[in-house]
Amino acid sequence: MAQQERAIATRRRLLVGAAEVFDERGYAAASINEIQARSGVKKGAMYFHFKSKEEIAQGVMASQLELPTEPRSSSASPMQQVIDLTHELAHRLRTDVLFRASIRLTVEQGTFQPHDSDVYDWWLRVFARDLARAQGAGELRAELTPEDVAASVVGSFTGIQMLSHVTCDRRDLHDRLTKWWQQILPGITTPKTAAGLAPAGSPELDLTGTG
Amino acid sequence: MAQQERAIATRRRLLVGAAEVFDERGYAAASINEIQARSGVKKGAMYFHFKSKEEIAQGVMASQLELPTEPRSSSASPMQQVIDLTHELAHRLRTDVLFRASIRLTVEQGTFQPHDSDVYDWWLRVFARDLARAQGAGELRAELTPEDVAASVVGSFTGIQMLSHVTCDRRDLHDRLTKWWQQILPGITTPKTAAGLAPAGSPELDLTGTG
């Protein structure tokens, strides 16, 4: 068991080291030697876990799929939980290099492999599931489908974080996200719901521990 | 004059050839030799115009800034013109390799250079200008700023086209964009305005010539 735990720890060190390099340089300019040096893992151990730079990148991207997707938010409103999840992801982008690198690699896709929509499809399913709960609670307008709204949320979040990244290193990300929610909530929620929602995230949402 | 016209034509051939290669492979995997071969321009002529792959990429990205930004739409509603402009850009992404490559390079930024927000800033200004017109006409809600709505439009458009690119090669782009407008219009326009707008683009918007 100790050996298995060590293997898990080594794999994690490799992923974090790779994430730091990918986050700084992007996929194309990252070298496997730098990843090895940064993670402090011996070459043999590295090749035991990953055969190539592409495999490491796949591992970093797949780390997104291990994130908890059940709402951390303690809000009783499913729609508020959806809003809170986007702020939680925004916070993670600012503080968690593994998540940040995995998003960068997702965005750079096509540079190093044919399109792979797995990560997008996964987020589309997560948000469609949560928005279906909101619809069940009478919060999402009945004439919309959770899938169509999920596509807008995932697409808009992706682009808004990119714009915030390029223009100000994501310093205004929570603010941009809050304004986007203010603008879109009247069109996707029922009138009585919108007034009770907090576009900036619910007050009880504690983001200090998510980085 | 004939010589100057030839130089302009050569530069254009280089940009289109480079755009084809960047669009297929991304910046990192594109080679200057392939760009030269694809454009059919002699090496000396190429180096007269561009000293490096990075300079060619800058040229492709800058081609966005030469697009006409005055609305082609003949709609009398400034807000409808904003909607129409996004559909025009979506159409251009599907049909114009130079525009498609310039967007890809913009998205891949940071892979090959420090962040350069010029192109985003330019689109933010274009949309803020048009949305200010919509506000002047009483169509954009008075409590919003054109700049904040422009940030949502540019951010959302960027991410929605990426998602559409990765999941279905942009086949559903107009549809996704239409649904996004349907969802956000109630929150950004005055109630009497929303009913008169066509989220799918105005009927008179002729996109056949923009490719």
Same domain flag for A149 and A110 = yes
Query: Residue A37, SS3?
Result: helix
Tokens read off for A87: 């702020």
User: In degrees, to the nearest 5, what angle opens at C-alpha A22 toward C-alphas A117 and B98?
Assistant: 60
pLDDT at A178 over 50: yes
Residue predicted with more confidence, A210 or A81: A81
pLDDT at A211 over 50: no
The tokens 């799918």 sit on which residue? B200
Residue predicted with more confidence, A1 or A48: A48
> Does the distance separating the beta carbons of B163 and A158 come in below 8 Å?
yes
Annotate A61-91 with b (16+ C-beta within 10 A) or e (fewer).
Answer: bebbeebeeebebebebbbbbbbbbbbbbbb
Same domain flag for A80 and A143 = yes
**What is the spatial distance between Cα A106 and Cα A118, in angstroms, rounded to a whole number?**
10
> Does the distance separating the beta carbons of A182 and B155 come in below 8 Å?
no
Structure confidence at residue A113 (pLDDT): 56
Among A166, A167, A175, most B C-beta atoms within 10 A, so best to mutate, is A166
Same domain flag for B91 and B186 = yes
Rounded to an integer, the average pLDDT of A30-35 is 93
HSE at residue A12, side-chain half, CA atoms within 13 A, is: 7
Phi and psi for B190 in degrees, rounded to 5? -70, 150
Same domain flag for B71 and B133 = yes
Tally the domains of chain B.
2
Structure confidence at residue B210 (pLDDT): 45
Same domain flag for A75 and A121 = yes
CATH number assigned to the domain comprising residue A108:
1.10.357.10
Structure confidence at residue B110 (pLDDT): 55
The tokens 């402090």 sit on which residue? A40
Alpha carbon A161 to chain centroid, angstroms: 10
**What is the spatial distance between Cα A178 and Cα A84, in angstroms, rounded to a whole number?**
10
* H or E stretch at A25: helix A2-29
**What is the spatial distance between Cα A88 and Cα A157, in angstroms, rounded to a whole number?**
12
Read off the DSSP letter of residue A52: S
pTM: 0.89
Among residues B19, B34, B63, the one where a domain terminates is: B63
> Does the distance separating the beta carbons of A28 and B117 come in below 8 Å?
no
The answer to the question of residue B103 being in a domain is yes
**What is the spatial distance between Cα B61 and Cα B49, in angstroms, rounded to a whole number?**
15
- Residue in A160, A182, A185 closest to B159 by CB: A160
Confidence of residue A72 (pLDDT cuts 50, 70, 90): confident
Same domain flag for A57 and A78 = no
Structure confidence at residue A110 (pLDDT): 55
Same domain flag for A163 and A107 = yes
The answer to the question of residue B174 being in a domain is yes
Question: In chain A, what residues touch B179 (CB-CB under 8 Å)?
Answer: 148, 151-152
Angstroms from A87 CA to nearest CA on chain B: 16
What is the value of ipTM here, to two decimals? 0.88
The answer to the question of residue B204 being in a domain is no
The answer to the question of residue A199 being in a domain is no
The answer to the question of residue A154 being in a domain is yes
Give B121-175 pLDDT, tens digit per residue. 989 999 999 999 999 999 999 999 999 999 999 999 999 999 998 888 899 999 9
Same domain flag for B162 and B75 = yes
Same domain flag for A32 and A92 = no
Query: Residue B197, SS3?
Result: coil
Same domain flag for B42 and B74 = no
CATH number assigned to the domain comprising residue A36:
1.10.10.60
The answer to the question of residue A201 being in a domain is no
Angstroms from B3 CA to nearest CA on chain A: 38
Same domain flag for A53 and A142 = no
Tokens read off for B88: 């025009």
- Residue in B120, B151, B186 closest to A187 by CB: B186
- Rg of chain A's alpha carbons, rounded to an integer? 19
Q: How far, in Å, are A10, A100, A168, B3 from residue A96 at the CA level?
A: 18, 6, 18, 55
**What is the spatial distance between Cα B53 and Cα B48, in angstroms, rounded to a whole number?**
13
SS3 content of chain B, % helix, strand, coil (to 5): 70, 0, 30
Structure confidence at residue A97 (pLDDT): 94
Same domain flag for B48 and B76 = no
The answer to the question of residue B35 being in a domain is yes
- Residue in B120, B165, B188 closest to A167 by CB: B120
**Residue B126: closest CA among B102, B159, B150, B101:** B150
Structure confidence at residue A66 (pLDDT): 81
Which residue range is the domain that position A80 belongs to? 67-194
**What is the spatial distance between Cα B177 and Cα B157, in angstroms, rounded to a whole number?**
8
The answer to the question of residue A205 being in a domain is no
